[in-house]
Every structure is written in structure tokens, then in C-alpha cells.
Amino acid sequence: MSDIVEDKPKKKKGGMMKIVLLVVGALVLVGGGVGGALYAMNAGLIGGGKGAAEPTGPRLVPKAEQKRAGSGEGGEAKEGGHKPPTGTGGDKYASNYYAMDKEFTSNLQDSVHFVQVGIAVSTPYDDTVVENIKTNEIAVRSSILMALGDTTEEQVFSSNGKQMLQRRLAKAINDTLKEKEGFGGVGNVYFTNFVVQ
């Protein structure tokens, strides 16, 4: 009896595994492409931006969209009211004003006197800046009081010194808003009351 052993060719292991990996790889590439295209369409990069999100943060308000006392949205006259005057010149953007509720009282630097001021701010941006001031009122008030405490007696008795104080207060408010909200936006500070005693 002879032992005849037939040599059968051995099947290669992993042939099926290569096919599975190729199919899975192709699916991943197609899925990534579809996902990227959907993201780009929603972000407005392609396809006309139908699903594009509104920009976040404060938005500059053109004069044409300015809210005016006695008029409706966009400055249009209400029934029985008068249309606001128009002309050339002035700022390109509307001014949005906000008067802070409480007055500020602070000692003057190196003086026995103190100053008490009422403050209003203006911004060319929409209500986002005003809302940011209201949200962070404690921090904003603190920064205003710190700036007032660095004010000298000579500054509060001259118009030029008061203008410098306005700029310092605007900077203090903007610095606080940038720290808290990532954006300042206050253009000017106005005094609604100013008393030195």
C-alpha cells in the first residue's frame, strides 16, 4: 500500500479579508464625501447658502434701520405720526443708546472731593451690545468705578478733562465686555449727570 498524498493547492487566507476592507474603505470615503458636502451646503459654502446660519454677535445697524421715537420699525412713521427728517451727512450707522439706571459715586484721586455721574452709552451695533452690558452690569459698574477713582480733581473741572474721562470710561466698558463676551462695541459714553463735591 502506498501512501499517496495529494498535494492540494492551499487557499490563500486573507483574500476575503482584502475584499471586505476594500468595500468598507469605499463606504467610508463615500460617506465622508456626502457628509462634507452636506456640511458645506449648510454652512453656505456651496449651493447658495439656503441653510446658512445667521452670523452671531453684534451687527452694525445702518441709519435706514434705525428705531426712532414716535416711529415704527426702520424709522417709518406710525399712523398719525411724522416721517423722520432725512438729509446728507452724519454717521453712516444708527446710534443705539442705553442709559445706566444707577448713578456712580467715587472719590477723586488725591483729593477730598468726590464725583457723582450718571452715564449713558451709545453703540452703532444692534441690541446685542446693550444686552451684554445688562448681563454683565456688575462687572461693567466695577470697571466704571475703577476708572472714576483714577480721575484727578483737575480733570473733572475742565471740558477737556471730562472728554478724556469719557474716552477712559468707554475703554473700561469695552475692555470688560471683551473679557466677558468677546466683543466691546461701545462707541461713546455720555454724562447724563455730573456733580463734583
Could you identify the residue written with the cell 483737575?
154
Question: Would you say residue 163 has pLDDT above 70?
Answer: yes
Would you call 191 helix, strand, or coil by DSSP?
strand
Least-confidence region, from 63-77, 88-102, 126-140, 182-196: 63-77
Contact 68, 97 (CB under 8 A): no
Phi-psi region at 129: left, alpha or beta (left = phi > 0; alpha = psi -120 to 50): alpha
Question: Would you say residue 80 has pLDDT above 80?
Answer: no
Question: pTM for this structure?
Answer: 0.62
Least-confidence region, from 39-48, 151-160, 180-189: 39-48
Could you identify the residue written with the cell 452670523?
55
Could you identify the residue written with the cell 454724562?
191
Contact 187, 193 (CB under 8 A): no
C-alpha cell at 8: 492540494
Give me the pLDDT at residue 182, please: 94
Give me the pLDDT at residue 52, please: 47
| C-alpha torsion sign, points 131, 133, 138, 139 | positive
Residue 195 CA neighbour count, 13 Å, CB half: 7
pLDDT in tens, 89-142: 567 888 999 999 999 999 999 999 999 999 999 999 999 999 999 999 999 999
For residues 184 and 140, give the distance between their C-alpha atoms in angstroms, rounded to a whole number: 11
For residues 77 and 83, give the distance between their C-alpha atoms in angstroms, rounded to a whole number: 5
Least-confidence region, from 23-27, 56-60, 68-72, 106-110: 68-72
Give 7 or 16, the one with higher predicted confidence: 16
Least-confidence region, from 17-26, 31-40, 112-121, 150-159: 31-40
Question: Would you say residue 51 has pLDDT above 50?
Answer: no
Residues 6+ apart with CB under 8 A from 140: 133, 173, 176, 177
Give me the pLDDT at residue 11, please: 58
Give me the pLDDT at residue 13, please: 61
For residues 95 and 118, give the distance between their C-alpha atoms in angstroms, rounded to a whole number: 19
Percent of the chain whose predicted confidence (pLDDT) is above 70: 75
Give me the pLDDT at residue 120, please: 97
